[in-house]
A and B are shown apart, each in its own frame.
Chain A
């Protein structure tokens, strides 16, 4: 009995048929009141999404985002009570909108918002003291070394110049025009301290990091570095990663 009642109220709260729930109310209670729960649930989830996808919210504006958020929420309600987890799949939802309704690069901006959101809540980790690796470099060859990285570190690629679009939106331009770019944009997102950083990578930098993130050695990763400047470039890249607090450890065994 209770299970059926709760099922009926849930359907109404998610914007579905109100009749089954209305039939269970005490006589004299207007069925219109079920709208309070519908507004609380769908309106509340739209607000959760707006906080998790701040760049998308800026581009769409309050009212359009609210409608999109409610539409997503009715189709994909949360499966866990931790609201910071909610909203996976919103980029794909935007992608499935009829063409012309949202800018074609908006789904990728949503992916970037999501990656940054996940980085914000990722596990903490102690950074590796750069001096330890420097000492090692003096005494031995580093090419067999494998690095471990901060748990918040993520790489993302986009066919759009997503980094400059993201920056423009953050600076208040709500309808930036992307320069057409053929090369995919690669981004590094991480939260080594309290702040989330988002950095555009050269193609070889992304390849270099990708190999390391998959557990490859520095020697294997160096294969992605332009030959003419390999040694210096690898060193610069390593120093940058270390100084940003993104490297948490190393192992010299295979």
Chain B
């Protein structure tokens, strides 16, 4: 039986269980000219934490016609030094204005000693970091007045101190804080190649009822030292192996809002829309399976 998604619906316009696109500033003109050709969009929260100007005006225009999801990259939920309360207040103000249908962040950290590193750095999965991240998520959800979806990161390294597996870590966070999981299927694949685990077993270990959204993106193969590594650069189409893993994920967990992300070497908007169409086809196939299994 497929699990139902976590109750992460909030006061904004709900995000449908279709494919949306990550909307970036260089695509805005084409997006408006094309009649906003996506059922929903996701933006990076921090890019819109600005006093005024065309960026905010664009977002105001989009949100009048399309459901918007806000995806954060700067909260640093795994940070040992505690959360930035001014940043939380800024996020709250943005969300009250935009009324996003979903709000998400990452299982990672990026702030140390007041310095912000613009990357999603690897957390050591220990009892200490679980306790700390749990408290940070509780603080964040309280401050922004909304539940969070937490995204699994792409992994390149692992620490000697590791005590807990990533799916277990995410599950524990969900159990204790009520947050949901944003399952990035490409990240599962990237991590599995870099760290040498079975991505299908990872999907099996994620509680279906906690999953509120999927992310899909492309990655790059890069030589690092003597090895070939997979870098999650959001700079190409979703690869065949990730589409297969996505089909498996949909069959096990069920349809959810699914985002196509593209952040480097941005192609024309239509390339993203083509990817979204493929994701919608996969979602439609999963719905058929779903009906068959419910009837049986």
Asked if B171 is at the interface of the complex by the 8 Å CB criterion, the answer is: no
Cross-interface CB contact of A33 among B76, B116, B225, cutoff 8 Å: B225
Which one of B117, B119, B227 has the highest number of Cβ atoms from chain A below 10 Å of its Cβ?
Answer: B117
Contacts of A83 in B (CB 8 A): 46-47, 118
Asked if B237 is at the interface of the complex by the 8 Å CB criterion, the answer is: no
**114-142 of chain B: CB within 8 A of chain A:** 114-119, 121-122, 124, 126, 128-129, 132
Q: Are A2 and B132 in contact (CB-based, < 8 A)?
A: yes
Encode B49-69 as 1/0 by CB contact (under 8 A) with A.
Answer: 111111111000000000000
Q: Are A33 and B80 in contact (CB-based, < 8 A)?
A: no
Encode A175-207 as 1/0 by CB contact (under 8 A) with B.
Answer: 000000000000000010010000000000000
Asked if A3 is at the interface of the complex by the 8 Å CB criterion, the answer is: yes
Q: Known contacts A3-B81, A9-B121, A37-B121; is A79 also within 8 Å of B116 by CB?
A: yes
Q: How far is the CB of A28 from chain B (nearest CB, A)?
A: 9
- Complex Cα distance, B117 from A34, in Å, reads 14
**67-122 of chain B: CB within 8 A of chain A:** 73-76, 79-81, 84, 87, 90, 109-119, 121-122
Contacts of A29 in B (CB 8 A): 157-158
Q: Are B124 and A33 in contact (CB-based, < 8 A)?
A: no
Asked if A225 is at the interface of the complex by the 8 Å CB criterion, the answer is: no
Q: Are A33 and B113 in contact (CB-based, < 8 A)?
A: no
Cross-interface CB contact of A5 among B47, B51, B90, B159, cutoff 8 Å: B159
Contacts of B156 in A (CB 8 A): 33, 36-37
Q: Are A82 and B49 in contact (CB-based, < 8 A)?
A: yes
Q: Are A24 and B160 in contact (CB-based, < 8 A)?
A: yes
Interface residues on B, range: 35 or more
**Cβ-closest chain B residue relative to A27:** B160
Q: Are A44 and B119 in contact (CB-based, < 8 A)?
A: yes
Q: Are B116 and A77 in contact (CB-based, < 8 A)?
A: yes
Contacts of B33 in A (CB 8 A): none
Among A117-125, A140-148, A153-161, A208-216, the stretch that binds chain B is: A117-125
Q: Are B46 and A82 in contact (CB-based, < 8 A)?
A: yes
- Complex Cα distance, B160 from A29, in Å, reads 10
Asked if A68 is at the interface of the complex by the 8 Å CB criterion, the answer is: no
- Complex Cα distance, B76 from A52, in Å, reads 24
How many A residues touch B, CB cutoff 8 Å?
Answer: 44
Contacts of A2 in B (CB 8 A): 80, 124, 126, 128-129, 132
**Cβ-closest chain A residue relative to B225:** A32
- Complex Cα distance, B126 from A24, in Å, reads 13
Contacts of A40 in B (CB 8 A): 118-119
- Complex Cα distance, B156 from A45, in Å, reads 20
Contacts of B110 in A (CB 8 A): 81
Q: Known contacts A10-B115, A36-B231, A123-B51; is A30 also within 8 Å of B159 by CB?
A: no
5 A-B pairs with least C-beta separation: A81-B74, A32-B225, A124-B52, A3-B80, A40-B119
Chain A residues engaging chain B, CB cutoff 8 angstroms:
1-3, 5-7, 9-10, 13-14, 24-27, 29-30, 32-37, 40-41, 44-45, 48, 77-84, 120-124, 151-152, 191, 194
Chain B residues engaging chain A, CB cutoff 8 angstroms:
46-47, 49-57, 73-76, 79-81, 84, 87, 90, 109-119, 121-122, 124, 126, 128-129, 132, 156-162, 224-227, 229, 231
